[in-house]
Amino acid sequence: MEALLGWGDSDAWSNTDFEKLNELIFEKTGVNISISTLKRVLGKVRYDSIPTTTTLNTLVQFAGYESWRCFCTKQKQQLTQRTVSHPAIEKATTTGRAKPFRKLYAAILVVIVLGSVFLWMSFFSAKRPVIDRSKIKFTSRAVTDDLPNSVVFDYDIGDFKADDITIQQSWDPARREKLPLNQRRHTSIYYTPGYFNARLLVNNTTVSQHDVYIKTKGWKGIVQSDALTKPVYLNNADINGHDNSMEITTPVLASKVGTTVFNDIWTTFWNMHEFPNINPTNFSFNTTIQNTTSKEGAICRQAKVYIFSSDGFVQVPLCAIGCTSDIELNIANSAISGKNHDLSAFGCDFSKPRNLGIVIKDKTGTVLLDDKSIFTTTFTKPLGRLVGLLVCFEGTGEISAIDIK
């Protein structure tokens, strides 16, 4: 796994690295291995127990093997090959002193065989029952067409005896809730709109999933920050919304959050609804956008545009010229980080409004700034139908002339 990830020795990994590993494993395998379990298995904290079969299978699947059994078999074969070709054995054979080493070789083989048998018995002798997914029921319904919105989840796993049942309400790993084993209904509240993929996990394995669509009535302004326990909703007067344009000023935002320093405080404008007349394989998006925060108000003055689809999203960031190392571009779920790519073209002088264009055509994505192409990439997975737009400002900002066609 260290070789696969390229993050160096796992002894030096931070908590953030383990959080990222948790997300990567879940994305690839559909199984959630907790951060604490990952730390135990990789030796960051003391672990005296044997990992479960599910954990072992998931880890080796993430590393590219079919199962823990196949992994053990492969390691046994490699160890045997290394033992057979050991220079000491070859030298003893050629010099006529092979007999002692034959005994040593035989002893090594016995250890290998016994070790393999022990591993097999430890991890596979207690065979876990297999869940019949055809009997799984997992549905949901929203209780309103406004925000906030509660969603009622109904689920049934039949007569399967589960050790653990969890609902993952969205892509966010923090939005996982462990459920009582004798329960058949659960409700969750969504404070922000979006197109979410909800999953039902039994014994840390995804057994059913479906989409949860939280819509808006036109454009909705929301202030969000990790420092806020709940988001702050904005009304039309707050955002000066008219003729497909919106803005938020420093006095208004400061009155909502109690400060004039807006680092990591985001004003977001959501418009979540179906776009049935837009071809998701061939469309363009254009707008005029400006982050109006001063450098003293927000150091990097970021602005982001999202286009959401049923199967992915497009995310285009802009920021102060010196901050492009910290931004991330995403085209059809393909993330391009400023940490290892040159995204300096996305650095902006926000002293005036800028024209931003996004073109998706024949699985090619192009970003234009002031009518000049600054980035082009191709992708393989289609986006699916378009389901919403989101514009974000770190601090204050203004957007107008929004056009998608």
The tens place of each residue's pLDDT in the chain, 405 residues long, gives: 888 887 877 877 777 778 889 888 887 887 888 887 888 888 776 665 678 888 888 898 888 888 888 888 888 777 766 555 555 444 444 444 445 556 666 667 766 766 665 665 555 545 556 778 888 999 999 999 999 999 999 999 988 888 889 998 877 767 888 888 888 999 999 999 999 999 999 988 889 999 999 999 999 999 999 888 899 999 989 998 776 789 999 999 999 999 999 999 999 999 999 999 999 999 999 999 999 999 999 999 999 999 999 988 999 999 999 999 999 999 987 889 999 899 999 999 999 999 999 999 989 999 999 999 999 999 888 888 999 999 999 999 999 999 999
Distance CA 70, CA 154 (A): 37
- Which string of DSSP letters, residue by residue, matches 22-90? HHHHHHHHSB---HHHHHHHTTSS---SPPPHHHHHHHHHHTT-S-HHHHHHHHHHHHHHHHHT-HHHH
Predicted confidence at residue 41, as pLDDT, reads 85
CB 219 within 8 A of CB 271: yes
Tell whether 116 and 144 lie within a shared domain: no
Q: Number of folded domains in the chain?
A: 4
Q: Are residues 282 and 384 in the same domain?
A: yes
What residue has token string 């090619």? 364
* CA-closest candidate to residue 105, choices 93, 119, 120: 93
Whether residues 318 and 245 fall in one domain: yes
Position 35 scores a pLDDT of 80
Pair 284, 316: CB distance under 8 Å: no
Q: How far is CA 252 from CA 222, 227, 229, 292, in A?
A: 12, 18, 19, 13
The strands making up 185-190's β-sheet, listed across from edge to edge, are 137-142, 149-156, 185-190
Strand partners, 189: 150
Residue bearing tokens 């070709």: 85
Neighbours of 6 (CB within 10 A): 6
> Residue 67's closest CA among 7, 5, 127, 136?
127
In sequence order, what E strands does 292-345 have? Answer: 303-309, 312-320, 328-331, 334-337
Where is the domain boundary, 192, 214, 236? 214
Which of the 8 DSSP states describes residue 10?
G
- Alpha-carbon distance of 32 to 166, in angstroms, equals 10
Under a CB-based contact definition with an 8 Å cutoff, are residues 165 and 201 in contact? yes
In the numeric block, which tokens belong to residue 398?
């203004």
Question: Tell me, what's the pLDDT at 89?
Answer: 42
pLDDT score of 80: 67
- Amino acid type, 202: V
Domain that holds residue 229: 220-404
pLDDT value, residue 82? 59
Lay out the sheet containing 282-291: strands in order across. Answer: 246-248, 397-404, 282-291, 354-361, 364-369, 372-378
Distance CA 298, CA 21 (A): 30
| Residue that is last in its domain, among 62, 80, 101 | 62
Q: Are residues 249 and 334 part of one domain? A: yes
Secondary structure (3-state) at 307: strand
Output the pLDDT for position 230. Answer: 92
Using only C-alpha atoms, what is the Rg of the chain?
Answer: 27
Mark whether 234 and 369 lie in a shared domain. yes
pTM above 0.85, yes or no: no
Both 30 and 94 in a single domain? no
Residue 262 and residue 390 share a domain: yes
- Out of 39, 62, 85, a domain closes at 62
One domain for residues 119 and 205: no
Are residues 58 and 72 located together in one domain of the fold? Answer: no
Nearest to 53 by CA among 203, 166, 164: 203
User: Are 142 and 105 in the same domain?
Assistant: no
Cα dihedral sign, 57-130-36-333: positive
Instruction: Provide the CATH number for the domain around residue 343.
Output: 2.60.120.200
CB burial readout 301-322, b (16+ within 10 A) else e: bbbbbbbbbbbbbbbbbbbbee
Q: Are 280 and 400 in the same domain?
A: yes
154 with 21, same domain? no
Which residues, 6 or more positions from 325, have their beta carbon under 8 angstroms from its beta carbon? 338, 339
